[in-house]
Amino acid sequence: MTVTIVYQGQLRCECTHVQSATVIETDAPSDNRGKGERFSPTDTLCVALSTCAITTMAIKATDMGIDLSNTNVEVTKHMLSDPRRIGKIEIIFKFPATLQLNEKDRIILQRIGNTCPVAKSLHPDLNVLIEYRW
């Protein structure tokens, strides 16, 4: 087992990672009967995609002798209706100004980010736009 989830009522869930006991709470968004006081389930999908991309890039970067620490990631989610779903995810990776990479290394890391396990698990109809700001 990876995660246990308890539905707490009022459209909220408490998710516990079994190995570490880390807890994430979710709430329905304010535009869908929730209070919007926690990550929504669709927010967590966007977080999963973004963190998977930067994590897999950092794994490869470490092997290449590159440190991606202090990279900032901005994520924007666009919802569609009928049926309600995520239509587009925009991700911007902002790398530290001190990080000086050649074009080959940038291409390698971008390919890793674009093909991380979460990205490969998403439906092909989902529009994912990733920008790398070196």
Give the helix ranges, DSSP H, for 1-134.
Answer: 41-63, 103-114, 117-121
Among residues 17, 100, 114, 103, which one has the least CA distance to residue 65?
Answer: 100
Q: Specify the amino acid at residue 37.
A: E
- Using pLDDT thresholds of 50, 70 and 90, give the confidence band for residue 93: very high
pTM (predicted TM-score): 0.94
- At residue 113 the predicted structure's pLDDT band, cuts being 50, 70 and 90, is very high
DSSP conformational letter for 58: H
Q: pLDDT tens digits, residue range 40-89?
A: 999 999 999 999 999 999 999 999 999 999 999 999 999 999 999 999 99
> Closest by alpha carbon to 2, among 12, 16, 45?
16
Per-residue confidence band for 15, with pLDDT thresholds at 50, 70 and 90: very high
CA distance 47 to 39: 9
The C-alpha atoms of residue 16 and residue 19 are separated, in whole angstroms, by: 9
